[in-house]
Amino acid sequence: MQQSVPTKVCRLLPCSIPLLTYPGGTLLIAFATTSMQLRTVRALIDWGQPKVEKAPPQALPLNPTIRSKHLAGTSWVPDGPNDPMNVSRSDSSMVQLSHLELLPPTADNNGSPVPATIVAIRSSLPSLTSHYNQDVHSTIDRWEIQEPSPRAHPSFEQLSSRRNSTGVAPPPVAYMKKLESITVNKIAVAMETMNTGRVIVVAYSDSSVEYRDRRNMLETFNDNNLDRVWHLSQIGFSYTEDEPCLQVALSPSYCSVVQLRNDGKVKWKQLDYHLGDIGKSMDEPLYSAVITALSLSCATSVMRNVNYDDILATASKHVNPQFSYDWLTELSRILKVNLDYSEETHHDVLVRNTSIQLCLSIQQSLGFKGQFKQRTFSSKFAWIVLQLRNIVVLVSMAANLHISSGPNATEKSSPLEDPEVIRSLAGSVNWVLNLMAWIIDTLTNLPATLPPNVDLSSTANLSLPDLLAYLHSTNTIALHLILSSASRGFLTAILRRLAHLDYIARKAISHTSTPNPQNTPSALSPALKAAYVEIASLTASPILDIKTIETLLSSLSSSIKNAYALHNPALSGSPQAEKARNALEIKMHFGSSFPDAFKSVIVELFREDGGLLSAVKADIKPADLFFADFEILEVDEEGVMLERRKEKGMTMDCFRKAWLPNPVKGQVENGTSAAGGTAGTGTDGNASAVVSRQGARWRRCARCAAVMEDVLTQRQALQWLVMQQRRCFCSGFWDMLSPGELVA
């Protein structure tokens, strides 16, 4: 590939040069010049690495050079002279090129290939000195880059004197095919593509947005066809057209825009439906189309690893319990989410299933109405499970990770040897133990609070719809937590990890050294021993013993397996049965009713004589459970409790599970808390524990409003553990708050 330089060297226009990456490592570049030339160049980066055997690539020197080859050229000025390379007769002052894009090859809706296309936008503004009433307009020009391979006539093959000789095919010859231009009586300020380049989105200065088909540039998304939907803009969702703007940028999900207004202010706008109600059930075409479009947009964003918070914002305007359930069910179907872990004995697959975190995050977001406001049933369930999952991940990382330490890189240390890590995990241990006690307390009190039409004593009289209606009306999620296989799996997983942590803590505080360096350090410092004492004090005297809860969950899992196997038709033993069982688990996980097969399980759970809960009651002191304070869980969302929590002036740190005193404006970052005390560190095992560190700033989740103190530490183990909290436990992004601020 030889370098080709135009005979007439021209200055490039002050706009970005579009390029495409092609197979083989070459780049296709398009650029425009001030002499009104439009050129395409094929470029190749030669890194100049010497060929040395058995040498690591990072040790080889680099001497990169760029080789380029001119492909084709023309003029980007319409109605120019016949010679596109000679544009001296054109008046350049009348032409203003504002956008230049190089669109990659794609296929249209019929599967026909569409070659790489150059799109240029020229805007015309009337001159202030002009005496004519000229209209503003934008012209969209397009060129397809064609690279056909020339073919010689078969007769030329007969001219060869050698029978077995074969000709060499000539190389492709590139040229630019001019397509029909489009003129719009507006000023285009932005252009992007969507749907893998099939649709061109053009935003104008009057705040309007148009969607055009790339093949013919005709306006699309205006037929309101509800039978074939993939984006909200197709079915009547649009942006509010209000004030003019200078620049527009679309979100990665194409469901919101950011505008730079004429006054220099930035405004975010989201898609909204301005034509009335969308409906209330999947039987209505518009409602079904909205659910489908939201699911496809969200699934696409997830697969592209881009943010989908603007999709949640659009959906929240139409949210109700049925809407949330329908959207989550459709999204789980598209992503093929597996929520059935009723036959899993190991929980590694469950913890690694990021699709569960995705569904739970959306589930809790749709029912979150703001801080100090009651969540919906489905949202409350997801919010608890998300925190439970995060604690499982943190404890697992701390127990299994080995970090290089010391001058010798081969030396490994465990985070469980760092007292700051143990002290940070103490709050999570306290939170889990309180959660277990709260679940048992709720379940043991449930039969006495049920209305007369709900009978838990026999399968024949048990009405699952009536039971579900009562649970929803009282926001009682405890029964769903232990019957849903995914949440029950997280509960079992954390109990096993707490039992292991309790074992290590007891070994640590009973020996100054240990023969097992994989679990505990060989020599314990006083700080580390004190940290393990905190853990041991929590696990030694809980309201409910860990083994008792493990036994309950294990017995419950066995009963559920038998119930699935005995159901008619059987819900185990075949791929069809597993698929049907997963559908039932999805339904239950998203807050809907229990399977009919669970009637016998529920009756066995609440049976007064020899039931599963009766065995747990025998190991509990009723007074301990009655007077227990579960404020650390923040699950009591009655109006009085929410007001009391608001007036308390404390916020829960979602990482260390400890209360933080709310900062006040003007607070000096010198370690003095808003309550007037000095910052300290510690967890005393009750809900009133307060932990605040000197000068720590707050992070607040932009999605669920959770708070975490920003941990700045040089301790490698704790730093690595904090790195797992780069995003909130709900997978939302953090906002770093200014000192003294509660919101971003």
Amino acid identity for residue 268 in this structure? W
pLDDT score of 131: 54
Q: If you average pLDDT over residues 164-172, what whole number do you get?
A: 67
The per-residue b/e assignment along 452-470, b for 16 or more CB within 10 angstroms, e otherwise, is eebbbeeeeebeeeebbeb
CB 38 within 8 A of CB 75: yes
Confidence of residue 96 (pLDDT cuts 50, 70, 90): confident
Three-state secondary structure of 299-325:
HHHHHCCCCCHHHHHHHHCCCCHHHHH
What value does the CA radius of gyration of the chain take, rounded to a whole number of Å?
33
CA-CA distance, 36 to 137, in Å (whole number)?
20
**Tokens (6 digits) for 515:** 């023969």
Q: Who wins on pLDDT, 543 or 337? A: 337
pLDDT at position 364 is: 94
Rounded to an integer, what distance in angstroms lies between the CA atom of residue 337 and that of residue 353? 9
- What pLDDT does 427 receive? 93
With a cut of 70, say whether residue 82 has pLDDT above it: no
Name 272's bridge partners: 238
Tens-digit pLDDT profile for residues 501-536: 988 888 888 765 444 445 544 567 888 888 888 898
Q: What is the pLDDT of residues 359-409, one digit of tens each?
A: 999 999 999 988 889 999 999 999 999 999 999 999 988 888 777 665 555
Summarize the confidence of residues 55-59 as an average pLDDT: 73
* Alpha helix segments (H runs only) across 511-620: 526-540, 546-566, 575-589, 599-606, 612-617
DSSP string for residues in 412-435 = EE-GGG-HHHHHHHHHHHHHHHHH
Q: What angle do CA 617, 618, 624 make, to 5 degrees?
A: 65
Which residues neighbour 597 within 8 Å (Cβ) at sequence distance 6 or greater?
Answer: 563, 564, 566, 567, 571, 584
Rounded Cα gap, residues 681 and 694, in angstroms:
10
> Which has the closest alpha carbon to 673: 653, 650, 689?
650
At position 461, the amino acid (one-letter code) is N
Model confidence pLDDT, tens digit, residues 132-166: 556 788 999 999 988 887 777 777 666 665 556 56
- Which residues 6+ apart lie within 8 Å of 30 measured at CB? 17, 18, 19, 38, 39, 40, 41, 100, 102, 118
Specify whether the CB–CB gap between 377 and 475 falls below 8 A.
Answer: yes
User: How far is Cα 113 from Cα 339, in angstroms, rounded to an integer?
Assistant: 39
With contact defined as beta carbons under 8 Å apart, do 422 and 416 qualify?
yes
- Say what the pLDDT of residue 22 is: 67
The label of the residue with tokens 């789980």 reads 332
Alpha-carbon span 491 to 496, nearest angstrom: 9
pLDDT given at position 16: 56
Of 58 and 9, more confident: 58
Position 193 pLDDT exceeds 80: yes
Which is more confidently placed, 87 or 597? 597
Per-residue model confidence (pLDDT) at position 716: 76
Q: State residue 30 phi and psi, 5-degree precision.
A: -120, 140
| Separation CA 222–CA 236 (nearest Å) | 8
Tokens of 319: 């949210």
Q: Where are the beta strands (DSSP E) in 406-501?
A: 412-413
Give the pLDDT score at 523.
61
Phi, psi angle pair for 631, to nearest 5°: -65, -30
**Left if phi > 0, otherwise alpha if psi is -120 to 50, otherwise beta: which for 591?**
left
The 8-class DSSP code of residue 692 comes to: B
Report the pLDDT value the prediction gives residue 687, as an integer from 0 to 100. Answer: 39
The answer to whether residue 18 scores a pLDDT higher than 70 is yes
pLDDT at position 406 is 54
Length of the chain: 744
Asked whether residue 463 carries a pLDDT value surpassing 90, the answer given is yes
Q: What is the pLDDT of residue 679?
A: 37
DSSP code of 675?
Answer: T
- Going by the DSSP 8-state scheme, the letter that residue 78 receives in this structure is T
Span 307-320, average pLDDT: 92
- Specify which residues 66 forms β-bridges with: 45
Euclidean distance between CA atoms 73 and 186, whole angstroms = 29
Average pLDDT over residues 675-690: 41
- Comparing CA positions, the residue from 344, 273, 251, 255 lying closest to residue 585 is 344
Q: Is the pLDDT of residue 242 over 70?
A: yes
Distance CA 342, CA 488 (A): 9
Of residues 572 and 468, the one with the higher pLDDT is 468
pLDDT in tens, 629-638: 899 999 988 8
**What span, in angstroms and rounded, lies between the C-alpha atoms of 467 and 35?**
77
Lowest mean per-residue pLDDT among 41-50, 557-566, 568-577? 41-50
| Inter-residue contact 293 to 234 (CB < 8 Å) | yes
- b/e burial code for range 91-126 (CB count within 10 A of at least 16 → b): eeeebebbbbbbbbebeeeeeeebebbbbbbbbbee
pLDDT band for 203, please (50, 70, 90 cuts).
Answer: very high
> pLDDT over 70 for what percent of the chain?
85
**Distance separating alpha carbons of residues 523 and 511, to the nearest angstrom:** 9
Question: Would you say residue 335 has pLDDT above 90?
Answer: yes
pLDDT of residue 95: 63
pLDDT score recorded for residue 420:
86
- Mean pLDDT over 256-267 rounds to 92
> What is the β-pairing status of strands 209-213 and 272-273?
unpaired
DSSP codes of every residue in 604-649: HHH-TTT-HHHHHHTTS-HHHHHT---GGGT----HHHHHHHHHHT
- Label residue 234 exposed, middle or buried (CB < 10 Å: 0-12, 13-18, 19+): buried
Q: Give me the pLDDT at residue 713, please.
A: 72
Confidence grade of residue 619 (pLDDT, cut at 50, 70, 90): confident
DSSP code string of 257-299: EEEEETTS-EEEEE-EE-SS---SSTTSHHHHHHHHHHHHHHH
Q: Which range has the worst mean pLDDT, 291-305, 395-409, 596-610, 665-679?
A: 665-679
Give the integer Cα–Cα distance in Å for 219 and 211: 6
CA distance 642 to 51: 69
Sign for the pseudo-dihedral over CA of 508, 513, 516, 519: positive
Average pLDDT, the chain: 83
Where residue 34 falls among pLDDT bands split at 50, 70, 90?
A: confident
pLDDT computed for residue 64 by the predictor: 85
- Containing 473, the helix (H) or strand (E) segment is helix 464-474
Q: Is the pLDDT of residue 468 over 70?
A: yes
